[in-house]
Amino acid sequence: MKTLLRAVVFGLFASAAGADVTGVDIRQREDVLDARPFGDAGAYEKLAGVIHFAWDPADPANTRIADIELAPTNDHGLVEATANFTVLQPKDPAKRAGVGLLEVANRGGKASLVYFNRATGSRDPTRESDFGDAYLMDLGLTLIWVGWQCDIPPDVPDLMRIDAPIATDDAESVYGYARSDWVSTGVTKSFPLGHRGHLPYKVARPSDEGNVLTVRDGRAAPRQVIPREKWSFARATPNGPVPSPEFVYFEEGFQAGKIYEVVYHTKNPYVVGVGLAALRDTIAYAKHDDTCEFGVDTGIAFGVSQTGRLLRQFLYQGFNADEQGRIAFDGMLIHTAGAGRGSFNHRFAQPSRDAHRYSSFVYPTDIFPFSGRTQTDPLTGETDGLLAHLAPEHQPRIFYTNTGYEYWGRAASLLHTTPDGAADVEPLDNERIYHLASGQHFVGGRLPTQQPIADGSLGHLNNPLDFLYAERALLGHLVAWVADGTEPPASRYPKIADGTLVPIEQLEWPKILGVPAPTVAQVAYREDFGPRWSEGIIDNQPPVIGEAFPSLVPQVNEFANEVGGVRTVELEVPLATYTGWSLRYPDPPVTELRDFIGMIIPLPRIDKGQDVSDARPPIEALYGSKDEVMSRAREAAAALVADGFLLERDVDAVVERAGETWAWVMAR
């Protein structure tokens, strides 16, 4: 039965035990699924409410927060913020595993139950389907979500958000320039300044001469300035443009496939970096404050895509040591981040901004350094590493997991190569790298029902290869590695040395009807953001672009599936080609790549006359019947279990999925 509890624990100052958490306001406490037991962990409960933070801006652990010295302070000289939180934990403290899994919410959402419990997605997990098969509960984990992002859309309920302070200069507004870019898939007259529905920095001075709108025909094409009298800050409506500080309006219309970019004068930057401190101090509070009602012994952070990149930023800027000099997170699962970081701790930062081959261009995402190991850029002479600013005792045990998409769309090869792309780089002892071969950025659901990408083509958008079975097995290994030191499986990723990681021009893509190989992949550039970038201030909008770092991609076999990394049953018993990339066809430019999305391309069938137009082996040459497919799928699943990349409990499901794929291919 749902109950409402308002329990407030406040102190004027953060205690040594409680780090920078000064109060926890629990506004909701309820049993999960009417106290239904989850194995040995028993019944779970859900807590929700608000966490209050206060930081000493002069403390060395906090001075790394950009503009914190400009944030307003309370009567005690501390910078304050509040964030909402949600916790799921075994109701009986004696049945808790003592391991907290803190999911860093991607744009305010909750993904852990989907990724690890095979549950339906919910921002407020309440129904039985929201908890899936309860794998996380079977492990007895305490699941924690806390807001860290300050520009979350306010009109969407149950998102995780933080109320960050605004930087001011002696109570006066801080001004500067922000940047927004976009690529349209059709002609439209206005675009929002914010990214994916997030709160934008509003235009402060619409007539400022520094407001510039440009257009270019491609990533590397020169920018052409659009005359100021031809555009305005306004929103298109059926009755004409309406002035708005949050939109750009162009009467001639933004054309499909072209890159538009506006640099504009704005004010009142959030102190965005307090979100990083909030994550640090929430887990420190859970680990060290005896009054915490969701206390744990060890903490693991989980980040997906945007928040995987945020965790890399968190590590790079030294946030994994709290004010008392203790390690914050003991482990991290950094998923689909590629080799990137992001806009998480600088003036006028927009945390939602990312980087793909053909969207969100040259934000501070794919920038040196990339590897955990300290390396030297041979062109600039700069020496740095992702973990170079953390003492050994503050470095967590880390899993990096990436799919095929991250190599094509997120420059993931730089995670484990030298900056010149000439040699492999082994991960550190506290790191493991796992490539989830041939996956797209997220699992594309069940087998597609839509038409192929073009007339005469076999390719279908939205790759359904289900790498999440491997992902949740890996989480179990990370929990064991952090909790009791049990060694996880060795890293598995494509390498230069064995020919499984290659330049694009060496990709051995077979002839496939209607599906040419890509000629481009995302690259990371040497970017100059200006003389104050080390202080978290961008003076060059857009940045000055230097030479690109090499991007390498996974090699493929005769089935056009990737050969390096963790190969799931779909690849070991091939019935189709699975790609982590897809071309923008029919959207211009057709030779560029789509964001996030890959393809599934069924293998050809002799009885359909496809053998003459497709170089891949036909189905009939591989299998005599569905029974043979199912038998070989079970053998492949058993091998994955033995190697630690599949749970025994998931074998039947992946074998059944192979049968579904056989039926789909044979029905085409």
HEC assignment per residue over 27-82: EEEEEHHHHCCCHHHCCEEEEEEEEEEEECCCCCCCCCCCCHHHCCCCCCCCEEEE
Q: Is the pLDDT of residue 400 over 70?
A: yes
Helix or strand (DSSP H, E) at 667:
helix 651-667
CB atoms within 10 A of CB 625: 9
In the three-class reduction of DSSP (H, G, I as helix; E, B as strand; rest coil), residue 407 is classed as helix
On whether residue 241 sits in a domain, the answer given is: yes
On whether residue 90 sits in a domain, the answer given is: yes
Strands, E assignment, 147-229: 162-163, 168-169, 172-173, 175-183, 188-192, 212-216, 224-225
Please give the structure tokens belonging to residue 253: 């219309």
On whether residue 82 sits in a domain, the answer given is: yes
The predicted-structure confidence for 65-99, as pLDDT tens digits, reads as follows 999 999 999 999 999 999 999 999 999 999 999 99
Does 15 lie in the same domain as 50? yes
Q: Into how many domains does the chain fold?
A: 2
Does 205 lie in the same domain as 279? no
pLDDT band at 613 (very low <50, low <70, confident <90, very high): confident
Strands, E assignment, 364-403: 375-376, 383-384, 397-403
Q: What is the pLDDT of residue 9?
A: 39
CB 437 within 8 A of CB 566: yes
On whether residue 41 sits in a domain, the answer given is: yes
Does 205 lie in the same domain as 84? no
Q: Is the pLDDT of residue 15 over 90?
A: no
On whether residue 663 sits in a domain, the answer given is: no
pLDDT band at 612 (very low <50, low <70, confident <90, very high): low
Q: What is the pTM assigned to this prediction?
A: 0.96
Q: What is the pLDDT of residue 84?
A: 98
What percentage of the chain has pLDDT greater than the value 90?
A: 92
Show the domain range for 219. 175-267
Please give the structure tokens belonging to residue 124: 């407020």
Does 201 lie in the same domain as 83? no
The predicted-structure confidence for 536-545, as pLDDT tens digits, reads as follows 999 999 999 9
Does 162 lie in the same domain as 17? yes
Does 37 lie in the same domain as 141? yes
Q: Is the pLDDT of residue 579 over 70?
A: yes
pLDDT band at 18 (very low <50, low <70, confident <90, very high): very low
The predicted-structure confidence for 326-370, as pLDDT tens digits, reads as follows 999 999 999 999 999 999 999 999 999 999 999 999 999 999 999
Does 180 lie in the same domain as 142? no
Please give the structure tokens belonging to residue 297: 């012994």
Give the integer Cα–Cα distance in Å for 434 and 232: 47
Please give the structure tokens belonging to residue 264: 């504009």
Give the integer Cα–Cα distance in Å for 398 and 386: 12
Q: Which of 320, 328, 409 lies closest to 372 in space, CA to CA?
A: 320
Q: What is the pLDDT of residue 13?
A: 37
On whether residue 195 sits in a domain, the answer given is: yes
Beta-sheet strand order (sheet of 247-254): 188-192, 247-254, 231-232
Q: What is the pLDDT of residue 609?
A: 61
CB 633 within 8 A of CB 625: no
CB atoms within 10 A of CB 434: 24
Rounded to the nearest integer, the mean pLDDT of the chain is 95
Q: What is the pLDDT of residue 208?
A: 96
Q: Is the pLDDT of residue 627 over 70?
A: yes
On whether residue 665 sits in a domain, the answer given is: no
Q: Is the pLDDT of residue 325 over 90?
A: yes
Q: What is the mean pLDDT of residues 500-511?
A: 98
Does 13 lie in the same domain as 43? yes
Does 233 lie in the same domain as 96? no
pLDDT band at 1 (very low <50, low <70, confident <90, very high): very low
Name the region of 565 (left: φ>0; alpha: ψ -120 to 50; beta: rest): left
Q: What is the pLDDT of residue 608?
A: 64
Q: What is the mean pLDDT of residues 638-644?
A: 98
Does 280 lie in the same domain as 150? yes
Q: Is the pLDDT of residue 153 over 90?
A: yes
What percentage of the chain has pLDDT greater than the value 70?
A: 96
Q: What is the mean pLDDT of residues 26-40?
A: 97
In the three-class reduction of DSSP (H, G, I as helix; E, B as strand; rest coil), residue 392 is classed as helix
pLDDT band at 451 (very low <50, low <70, confident <90, very high): confident
Q: What is the mean pLDDT of residues 259-264?
A: 98
Least-confidence region, from 220-229, 313-322, 604-613? 604-613
Helix or strand (DSSP H, E) at 253:
strand 247-254
CB atoms within 10 A of CB 498: 11
Q: Is the pLDDT of residue 626 over 90?
A: yes
Q: Is the omega angle on the peptide bond into residue 589 within 30 degrees of 0, that is, cis?
A: yes
On whether residue 386 sits in a domain, the answer given is: no
Q: What is the mean pLDDT of residues 124-152?
A: 97
Q: What is the mean pLDDT of residues 446-459?
A: 86
Does 243 lie in the same domain as 140? no
Q: What is the mean pLDDT of residues 512-522?
A: 94
Q: What is the mean pLDDT of residues 601-624?
A: 85
Does 217 lie in the same domain as 83? no
Q: What is the mean pLDDT of residues 258-274?
A: 98
Q: Is the pLDDT of residue 253 over 70?
A: yes
CB 414 within 8 A of CB 383: no
